[in-house]
């Protein structure tokens, strides 16, 4: 009887041992391309390395006071407590807002302008969290811009706190004391350069966009007072002045 049980046990063990490889090799295999299955999708383009190594560029340290905005409401940079403007491509607006907020200490690496306190940033790092946003070029962001958000007609008044610049150093707007950003084409900013000097009283009318990141006015007319307004001239194809 004992010999019979031993034979049954040995036979059962051998059966299980031989069944395990069979079960493993019996798993269904993915269909081959010749069987009519669609080929795997090609890998997407990998983001290239920046043209410049950010670590080799000058480092500027400071604390963020506010974002700067384009006329369409995208974040295109930062203003630091010492008045330095940090310009960053607006196609990276979402990444920048998630990585850096007002009152955060940051390290900016980029190229400093000669005559104005402006930095064209290649990378911005939040010193506390370590998050870094790097500009890898216009083709490597969240995608094309969406439709422009509709602005609301508005008149604002205040004193100019500081001039704002584009990445090439040309004046393209101002920040007034209540935090509103006024944007206008660089040729018109040059025409009204005396009005846009810090401390000057200014009245502006245009389309305003208010976001959690701030308020920006796409200026249609501007002057020293509500009774002394001049229309902003725009290049052909751009939005003209409101009647």
Domain boundaries, the chain: 54-134, 152-231
**Contact indicator for 221, 232 with CB cutoff of 8 Å:** yes
Distance CA 191, CA 150 (A): 27
Question: Which of the two residues, 26 and 182, has the higher pLDDT score?
Answer: 182
CB 189 within 8 A of CB 139: no
**CB neighbours (10 Å) of residue 181?**
23
Is residue 130 within 8 Å of 146, Cβ to Cβ?
no
Instruction: Say whether pLDDT at 33 is over 70.
Output: no
Measure the CA–CA gap between 117 and 113, rounded to whole angstroms. 7
pLDDT average, residue stretch 57-67: 95
Q: What is the pLDDT of residues 76-106, one digit of tens each?
A: 999 999 999 999 999 999 999 999 999 999 9
User: Phi, psi (5° rounding) for residue 59?
Assistant: -105, 130
CATH number listed for the domain at residues 54-134: 2.40.50
C-alpha 152/C-alpha 217 separation (Å) is 9
Assigned CATH topology for domain 152-231: OB fold (Dihydrolipoamide Acetyltransferase, E2P) (2.40.50)
* pLDDT score recorded for residue 82: 96
Mean local confidence (pLDDT), 203-221 = 96
pLDDT at 16: 40
Query: Are the beta carbons of 214 and 243 closer than 8 angstroms?
Result: no
Overall average pLDDT of the 32-57 stretch? 55
54-134 shares its CATH topology with 152-231: yes
> What's the confidence (pLDDT) of residue 41?
45
pLDDT at residue 14 in the model: 45
Higher pLDDT, 9 or 51: 51
Tokens of 182: 């006024």
pLDDT of 150 strictly over 90: no
Q: For 7-18, what is each residue's pLDDT tens digit?
A: 444 444 444 444
Residue 182: the pLDDT is 98
pLDDT for the residue 234 = 81
């Amino acid at each position: 009887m004992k010999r019979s049980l031993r034979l049954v046990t040995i036979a059962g063990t051998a059966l299980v041992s031989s069944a395990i490889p069979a079960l493993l090799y019996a798993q269904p295999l993915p269909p081959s391309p010749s069987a009519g299955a669609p080929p795997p999708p090609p890998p997407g383009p990998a983001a290239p390395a920046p043209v410049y190594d950010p670590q080799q560029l000058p480092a500027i340290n400071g604390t963020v006071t506010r974002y700067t905005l384009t006329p369409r409401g995208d974040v295109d940079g930062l203003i630091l407590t010492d008045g330095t403007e940090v310009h960053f491509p607006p196609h990276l607006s979402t990444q920048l807002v998630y990585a850096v907020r007002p009152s955060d200490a940051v390290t900016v690496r980029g190229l400093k302008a000669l005559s104005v306190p402006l930095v064209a940033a290649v990378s911005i790092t939040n010193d506390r969290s370590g998050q870094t946003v790097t500009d890898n070029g216009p083709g490597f962001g969240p995608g094309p811009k969406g439709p422009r958000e509709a602005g609301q007609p508005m008149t604002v008044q205040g004193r100019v706190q500081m001039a704002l610049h584009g990445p090439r150093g040309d004046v393209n707007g101002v920040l007034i004391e209540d935090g509103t950003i006024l944007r206008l084409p660089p040729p018109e900013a040059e025409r009204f350069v005396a009005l846009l000097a810090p401390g000057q009283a200014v009245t502006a009318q245009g389309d305003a966009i208010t976001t959690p990141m701030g308020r920006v006015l796409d200026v249609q007319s501007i002057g020293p007072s509500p009774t002394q307004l001049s229309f902003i001239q725009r290049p052909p194809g751009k939005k003209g002045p409101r009647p």
